[in-house]
Amino acid sequence: MCWKSVLERVRAGRLPDHVAVVMDGNGRWAKARRLSRVEGHRRGAEAAERLIRLAAGERVCRHLTLFAFSTENWDRPPEEVDFLLRLLEEFIAQKVDELAAAGVRLDVLGERERFPERLSAEVSRVEELTRRNEGLQVHVALSFGGRWAVVEAVRSAVRAAQERGLQAERVDEDVVHGLMPTAALPDVDLMIRTAGEQRLSNFLLWEAAYAELYFTPVLWPDFDEAAFLEAVVSYQGRQRSFGGVRP
């Protein structure tokens, strides 16, 4: 396969620990083919599966966070929202055994109280089933917003102050991160966004503070192994100094 040669290049360099992806462009992909948006989302789910397989099988990174549905996406037409939630539920239900066998650990980040009951049950099932797996950790951001995560942390901090006397002076970055619903995520090394838009759209705001950003015009359903590995090659060419002096 043609991406195998790019994989060799990737292997020769420093691998990212955490890759986060804004999977954008399903609608435009479908429109260009005179298909319904729904068909674009279906093909988008296949692209996500392809990426998980590659990242898990070739051990490209330890954490992969996929932006599947944002807190703002609830404002889309109800038929599209329903379809997306059902597609996510089906995806989780149908792929769980294969993913679990590949050593993948899967969890979901987002406002669970807004999930339909069946989706919620499926999410709990897959999280429990893969909890002890030590391969790729896939985090699906679903009804997720970076601001929601910050608000959750502030709520937890207020509760901790009231219930166990957390002092303002003791609150530092580690404490805040520990109180966020994303506490299990390390900082993002590489943030990819497809479909040409160059914005975060309220994704991982806290964790992306020092992420290397990679934007590609490729629409999400077309984002294949080679496209992902090219993003990693681009990451490997970046100088990261984190505010320090370049070596």
Active-site positions read 24, 73
68 near ligand IPE, rule: CB under 6 A: yes
Which segment (23-31, 56-64, 87-95, 209-217) binds ligand IPE by CB under 6 A? Answer: 23-31
Segment near ligand IPE (CB under 6 A); pick from 87-95, 121-129, 191-199, 239-247: 191-199
Contact region with ligand IPE (CB under 6 A), list: 54-62, 173-181, 193-201, 221-229:
193-201
CB of 69 to Mg ion, least distance (A): 11
C-beta neighbour count of 76 within 10 angstroms: 16
At 37, give phi and psi (nearest 5°).
Answer: -55, -35
Q: Which residue has the tokens 């703002």?
A: 72
30 and 220 Cβ atoms separated by less than 8 Å: no
Closer residue to Mg ion, CB minimum distance, 28 or 62: 28
The reply to whether 148 sits near ligand IPE by the rule CB under 6 A is no
Distance in Å, CB of 166 to ligand IPE, minimum: 33
Residues numbered 196 to 225 that lie near ligand IPE (CB under 6 A) are: 197, 199, 201, 220
- Given candidates 7, 10, 26, 191, which one binds ligand IPE under the rule CB under 6 A? 26
Q: Whose CA is closest to 3, among 247, 237, 227?
A: 227
Minimum separation from the CB atom of position 116 to Mg ion (A): 22
Size of the site for ligand IPE (CB under 6 A): 18
88 binds ligand IPE (CB under 6 A): no
* 3-class SS letters over the chain: CCHHHHHHHHHCCCCCCEEEEECCCHHHHHHHCCCCHHHHHHHHHHHHHHHHHHHHHCCCCCEEEEEEEEHHHHHCCHHHHHHHHHHHHHHHHHHHHHHHHCCCEEEEECCHHHCCHHHHHHHHHHHHHHCCCCCCEEEEEEEECHHHHHHHHHHHHHHHHHHHCCCHHHCCHHHHHHHCCCCCCCCCCEEEECCCCCCCCCCCCCCCCCCEEEECCCCHHHCCHHHHHHHHHHHHCCCCCCCCCCC
For position 149 contacting ligand IPE by CB under 6 A, the verdict is: no
Q: Binding residues for Mg ion, per CB under 5 A?
A: 24
What's the min distance (Å) between Cβ of 40 and ligand IPE? 7
Binding mask 27-66 for ligand IPE (x = CB under 6 A): xx--------------------------------------
- Residues near ligand IPE (CB under 6 A) are 22-28, 67-70, 73, 84, 195, 197, 199, 201, 220
